[in-house]
Each structure stands twice: as structure tokens, then as C-alpha cells.
Amino acid sequence: MASSAYALDYVTPEPTSPLGTLRILASEHGIREITFVDSAETPAAPSPLTKACREQLNAYLKGELHDFDVPLDPQGTPFQQRVWQALARIPFGETRSYAEIARDIDNLKAMRAVGAANGRNPLPIVVPCHRVIGRDGTLTGYAGGLERKAWLLELERTHIKHHSTR
């Protein structure tokens, strides 16, 4: 893939999920962006990276995959990158508060900035920003909407229960 070219692919989860269609954009280095879209607005031009990401997203949505291993190439400031790396360390089925993420990156005063970086995460689901909740346990903002966030958290809770009873 040429350095200025991007591969494009789509995932359309089961119709009963509120996720809608997910657009996957990849550079030659990794997955650059995953976006919630209404439909596949541009014809797909998949690459091995976007195909692998699509397969992993489908497996995650079925509860068969807990950890993604596709190469990632998100674009952001050094601070945003640190926050996104902290998000990626939140285990499947668990949640963290903004304060816990700030503590994880050794910057307790940065809770608001952590929230802003969380909201700019270009790789929802794969970098699990949906796992960040308010300190009191309430669902707080999610770029994809709170309905999607609640659905993703319930998906993980359900599959953790099923996994632990096997």
C-alpha cells in the first residue's frame, strides 16, 4: 500500500445491536481509525490489515475474542497516545474511572484532559474507551453514544459470565 493510500473496510454487526456499521481505515502501518457510520458510504477497498481487523471485531462481537492484536496507527498528541495506551490495558469486562486512567499515566491532575483524550480515541472498541466510566460507576460520555457504550459493556459482562462458568 502506498504511503498516502488508505485501505477501507466495513463491519456491520448483527441487526439487534445498536452499533450500526463500523468503518475501518488503515494506513500501511496499522489501523488508523474506526468510525461509527450509518452505512457503507464509500466502496470498500480492504487490505490484509482491514480484513484482519474486521475478523477480530466480528469475533469480539460474538464474545469469542477479548484482546485485539492488529497493528494500530492512531494519530494524536503524545498525551493522547499515553491515554490510549492506558485504555488498551483495561481488561475485557472491567471498567476504570477517569481518575484511575490519570493515575495510570502518572498525572492525577489531568482527569479532564484524560476525558478529552478518551473522547478523541480514533479506535473505539479496539482501544476500549467504552470501559471508562464515572467515578461513581455511572456511564459518562461516549463518542459513539451512551446506548452503544451500555451495549458494549453488557456484551463484555455477558461473555465474562459465560466464560467463567465453563
Residues with catalytic annotation? 129
Pairing of strands 7-11, 132-133: unpaired
3-state helix, strand, coil in the chain (%, to 5): 40, 15, 45
Instruction: Starting at the earlier edge strand, list the strands of the sheet with 21-26.
Output: 7-11, 21-26, 31-37
**Checking phi first, is residue 106 left (phi over 0); if not, alpha (psi -120 to 50) or beta?**
left
